[in-house]
Amino acid sequence: MTVTLNHCLGLAAVIFVTGMAGFIVRRNAIVMLMCIELMLSAVNIVFAAFARQHADAGGHVFVLMNFAVAAAEAAIGLAILVEIYRRRRTVDVDELKTLME
Amino acid sequence: MEAFLFWSCGALMVLGGVMMVLQRSAVVAALWLVFAFIAASGVFAVLHAPFLAIMQVLVYAGAIMVLFLFVIMMLQGPVMEGERKRMALPLWPAAAIPPLAVLVLVGAWVSQRTPEPLRTALPDGFGGPRDVAAALLGRYLLAFELISVVLLVAIVGALALGHGERKAS
């Protein structure tokens, strides 16, 4: 069975949904950030698949851009989490509801 | 051969993602995510993107996940293993709606596309460092500069957040 573009899209969708479900279900903010990384990774697969389909390296450039965005998101997100932990002694998002009350 | 590699790497990546979501310990979840990222580099290799495959291991599995692991170990220490909380059970049906909606919508869109096999006639060295660099520093120079700005802002932001409290006291 040859691999079609649709298979790549389907695989990426399954991975994206896994990350999305994890983001909703998990309560640990660090694991939620990791789920975002998984979703970004699923998008990268779509970019690479379309780059190959059109024989255009532009898709690869945007995957590299996504890497940079993921790295920036991890750095800033984790810095914010460290700051929250210093003040509140927790990274559980159920405990962080000051704004809601 | 290509199909076998694609499906095995894809299945391993899905496995890594699912195990990450199910694992209770944050450290073990991070290690499963590293597993998923290495499988993703295999998927990139099958998709004729060797440069991306290498960068995936270097940047994601190497740099980003090490950062995650350091923060997990720094923050939670002994608490980490006891982390068992998940969303309250009555909320689970509501939580299932957005992922299912995405899956159904994307599935409907993909299933009505005519299946086209992946292109095999590719230019020499497609996806290699030379090819990607030519695109990155040529047609997409603006995107390249934007990447630098994004990373610079991230460095400044992370430093400002990390040192905020000490300056105030």
* pLDDT for residue B110: 86
Residue keyed to tokens 């660099």:
B133
* Residues of B whose CB is below 8 A from A8: 47, 118
Q: Break chain A into its structural domains and give their ranges.
A: 5-88
Which residue of chain A is at minimal alpha-carbon distance from B79? A90
What distance in Å separates the CA atoms of residue B169 and residue B49, rounded to the nearest whole number? 50
| pLDDT (0 to 100) of residue A35 | 94
For residue B66, the chain A residue with the least C-alpha distance is A74
Residues (pLDDT < 70) of chain B are 76-88, 164-169
Report pTM: 0.89
What is A5-88's CATH number, 1.10.287.3510, 1.20.1630.10, 3.30.365.10, 3.40.50.720?
Answer: 1.10.287.3510
pLDDT of residue B84: 55
What ipTM does the predicted assembly reach?
0.92
What is the identity of the amino acid at B116?
A: E
Q: Do B21 and A5 lie within an 8 Å CB cutoff?
A: no
pLDDT digits (tens, 9 = 90+) for A39-62: 999 999 999 999 998 888 889 999
Comparing alpha-carbon positions, the chain A residue that sits nearest to B139 is A58
Work out the minimum CA distance from B36 to partner chain A, whole angstroms.
8
B23: enclosing H helix or E strand: none
In this complex, do B158 and A79 lie within 8 Å of one another by their Cβ atoms? yes
| Cβ-defined contact of A58 to B75 (cutoff 8 Å) | no
- The greatest distance separating any two alpha carbons of chain B, rounded to the nearest whole angstrom, comes to 63
Residue contact B158–A75, C-beta within 8 A: yes
Judging contacts by C-beta atoms under 8 Å, the chain B residues touching residue A37 are 33, 60, 64
For position B65, what pLDDT does the model report?
92
User: Distance between CA B117 and CA A50 in Å, rounded?
Assistant: 12
Contact between chains at B151 and A17 (C-beta distance less than 8 A): no
pLDDT at B76: 67
**Residues of chain A contacting B21 with CB distance shorter than 8 Å:** 18-19, 21-22, 25-26, 35
Question: What are the pLDDT digits (tens) for B17-55?
Answer: 999 988 888 889 999 999 999 999 999 999 999 999 999
What distance in Å separates residue B52's CA from the closest CA in chain A?
A: 7
Q: Tell me the sheet residues that pair with B86.
A: A26
pLDDT at residue B169, as a whole number? 47
**Three-state SS letters, B80-140:** HHHCCCECCHHHHHHHHHHHHHHHHHHHHHHHCCCCCECCCCCCCCCCCHHHHHHHHCCCC
How confident is the prediction for chain A on average, in pLDDT?
Answer: 89
Selected for mutation to probe chain B from A8, A27, A31, A73 (highest B CB count within 10 Å) is A31
Facing residue for B98 by CB, picked from A2, A20, A91: A20
Q: Which residue has the higher pLDDT, B24 or A20?
A: A20
Verify whether the Cβ–Cβ distance B118 to A74 is below 8 Å.
Answer: no
